[in-house]
Amino acid sequence: MWPSCNGPEWFPTFSGLIGLQVQHRVAAYTRFGVALLLCAVTRGKGRVGRGALVAFGMVSIQAAIGVANVWTRLAVEVTLLHSAGAAALFLITAWLAYELVLCSRASAVLPTSVPAPSSGST
């Protein structure tokens, strides 16, 4: 059950089916941390910032659905919703990665400051 993976054991082994569930949860906690960090860095500004907020919200919803999945003992509807959430989170993450690469390329090509035009005659 949640929050443990194997009854009373809080730190089960990383082997077998229980280990697969532990790895799944570690990956989820990592995604949550990365999304939170990205939100803090971008502060919700621009396309990347708004995408980071959407990703953070989606990770949070996905985590709640995952907990519900355990509590309902893998009810088909909840499992389907968790799988659909994973697909949506993948698409959001792929779009966000694209935006980050696009923004980093644009900032590498564009100058950081534009020189003032000269007003004197020659």
Residue 34 belongs to a domain = no
Domain assignment present for residue 24? The answer is no
> Is 64 part of a structural domain of the chain?
yes
Domain membership of residue 55 (yes or no) is yes
Q: What is the pLDDT of residue 43?
A: 84
3-state SS assignment for residue 43:
coil
pLDDT of residue 41: 87
Please give the average pLDDT of every successive group of 10 residues along the chain, which has 122 residues. 67 79 88 89 84 91 92 92 94 88 65 58 56
- Determine, yes or no, domain membership for 33: no
pLDDT at 110: 47
Helix axes 46-71, 16-42, angle to 10 degrees: 150
Q: How much of the chain is in helix, strand and coil states, percent to nearest 5?
A: 70, 0, 25
- So what's the pLDDT on residue 106? 63
The three-state secondary structure class of 51 is helix
Q: If you compute the radius of gyration of the chain from its CA atoms, what whole number of angstroms results?
A: 21
In a domain, 35, yes or no: no
Domain that holds residue 85: 48-108
Q: Is position 53 within any domain?
A: yes
pLDDT at 22: 84
DSSP string for residues in 75-119: -HHHHHHHHHHHHHHHHHHHHHHHHHHHHHHHHHHS-SSPPPPP-
Task: Report the number of distinct structural domains present in the chain.
Answer: 1
pLDDT at 76: 94
Asked whether residue 63 is assigned to any structural domain, the reply reads: yes
